[in-house]
Amino acid sequence: MASNNKTTTILDQVKAASSLDQMLVALHDAQRTLTTSNAQADGLARQRVVQTIAHILDTEITKDQRDMVADILLSLVRQAEVDLRESLAERLCVMEGVPEDLVLFLAHDIISVAEPVLKYSTVLTDQDLLYIIQSKGCEYWQAIAQRKLLDSAVIDALVDRNDESTAKNLLLNDSIALKESALEAFAELSKYSEELAEPLLARKELPQKAAMELFWHVSAHLRQHIIKNFNIPKDRLDAALQDALEDFSDTTTLGTQEPRPSALMTDLARQYGNLERINDAMLVKTLRRGQVRFFLALMSQRTGLTPATIHDLMRQVGGQGMAVACRAVGVAKESFVSLFLLSRSLTRGDQSVDALELRKAIKYYDAMTEDMASSILADSILQSA
């Protein structure tokens, strides 16, 4: 209650200033008190600065005065600490008539400052947003994707970023319409992301064809959702299964930094594991076909490690991790060598493997017993759990 009273007092003090000159003096005085080491007093001073700026911008003043105010406020914000810039962004993002240069400065600031402005400020133009998308990183795209009003050109630019979190925010944004080309692009990403597939399948404008192509790549409960909502004949789902299986051979061309198995790959790997059919020959054959994601699913099932961990081991310099994993689950030495060599070419792009690195990997494999490797593997699984 005391805090609310203090805030009310600040507002009363700000509104008591009847002229622009008095308001600017009040702003100067409030800014000077921000250097205190008292956290509570500093917070109140920050509130006073923010409220004074908001009051100034809400006041009817001439164009010349507004230009002068814009210059003063921009100079103040450039010198302000991060916490003040964050507070200003939170307050100004929902106001109209804020000087464009001030909004642009905040929108290009660090993401903790820029985020509310990117999400809510109506001062930003489509050109402003397009420039930020081109010049800033994924956290800025993800904030812009949550705006209630987005021009189709801005949406297209966000889709082209090929960023999963940005795609998810667009799909969850009920205030915008998504073109079929955007939904098709997101459908391709959704084959390897359950988190993205769920909001995609909730979009009313998703065409039946895209839903059908997703069917064998998503989890069982999402398959039920597709059957219930998209009225797809069984023979077309069977045809989609054949297409999904053919996709396995194209996994190295998708360009993802951290490839993840699809739901279908994980399901098949689990079935092969239950039947104890994930042998050395299957693992080597899968990599020779370039089926990196399916290999991750199979090796994860055989070792108990996550697909992400297996992928890290495939890229690891020296090959010690892959040697431990293979030795622990009884992969024969000649199969380990094949997996080591294929891993280098598929995940690191190495055309030839350094002979010294290969000798070190084999030496490490030979130095361990299966019991030693199993113990190390068990510890790794526990640590990642």
User: Could you say which DSSP state residue 260 is in?
Assistant: -
Structural contact between residues 148 and 175, judged by C-beta atoms closer than 8 angstroms: yes
Phi, psi (deg, nearest 5) at residue 320: -65, -45
For the entire predicted model, the pTM comes to: 0.64
Contact partners, residue 44, CB within 8 Å, separation at least 6: 6, 10
Cα distance between residue 112 and residue 143, in whole Å: 11
DSSP output for 328-355: HTT--HHHHHHHHHHHIIIII--SS--H
Domain locations in the chain as residue ranges = 1-107, 263-384
Structural contact between residues 166 and 140, judged by C-beta atoms closer than 8 angstroms: no
Cα distance between residue 155 and residue 176, in whole Å: 9
Structural contact between residues 182 and 156, judged by C-beta atoms closer than 8 angstroms: yes
The enclosing H or E element of 232 equals none
Mean pLDDT in order along the chain per 10 residues (385 residues): 46 54 66 57 71 77 77 83 90 90 95 97 96 96 97 96 95 95 90 88 92 83 89 77 66 55 84 87 88 92 93 88 93 94 77 78 91 86 62
pLDDT of 254 reads 43
pLDDT of 295 reads 93
Q: Helices then strands (H, E): number in the chain?
A: 24, 0
Residue 382 burial (CB < 10 Å; 0-12/13-18/19+)?
A: exposed
Reading the block at residue 355, the tokens are 């002979």
pLDDT of 288 reads 86
